[in-house]
Amino acid sequence: MGEPRLDLPQGTLDVLILKVLALEPLHGWAVSERLQQISGDAIQVGQGSLYPALHRLERRGWLKARWRTTENNRRAKYYELTRAGRRQLEAETEGWRRLAAVVGQVLDLA
């Protein structure tokens, strides 16, 4: 955990969750682990924000939740991306890239 933690800007968590789940269906704990791994420990999502975000995405129809048995034979709620969720991910990725490019461009003016 050498690198300093990042505070996620509003709304970024949603798109990150969608991205992680685009690879495979996961339960909540695995989502937070995966995020932490991929970001090299820079992103650590508090569970107080992870689960509300998962439920919000489910309510919007972008995620579908299903209770399944884990490899350790335990019951867990797995989330998977719906078709609408995939479209949303594409749209948000595109939006994020443009925003990042524009912000970067402005900041690089020195």
Partner 1 sequence: MNALLADLLYRLRALVRRQSVEDELDEELRFHLEREVEKHLSAGLSWDEAWRRARHALGGLDQAKEKCRDVRGTRWIEELFRSLGHALRTLSRSPGFASVSVLTLAIGIGASTAVFSLVDGILLKPFGYPEPERLVVVSQSVNVDGQVFEGIPVSAAHFREWKNRAGSLEGIALMRSSVRYITGTDGDPHRVFQVTVTPGFFEMLGVRPTLGRTFLESEAEEGHDRVLILSNGFWREYFQSDPDVVSSHRSGPKRRRFPVGRPPW
Pick 15 or 32: Cβ nearer partner 1: 32
H or E segment to which residue 69 belongs: strand 63-69
Burial 9-24 (b: 16+ CB within 10 A, else e): eeeebbbbbbbbbeee
Distance of closest approach, residue 86 Cβ to partner 1, in angstroms: 13
**Which positions ≥6 away from 65 have C-beta within 8 Å?**
54, 58, 77, 78, 79
**87 binding partner 1? (CB under 8 A):** no
Rule CB under 8 A: which of 24-83 touch partner 1? 27-29, 32-33, 46-49, 51-52, 55-56, 58-61, 67, 74-77, 82
Distance of closest approach, residue 5 Cβ to partner 1, in angstroms: 13
**Contact set with partner 1 (CB under 8 A):** 27-29, 32-33, 46-49, 51-52, 55-56, 58-61, 67, 74-77, 82, 84
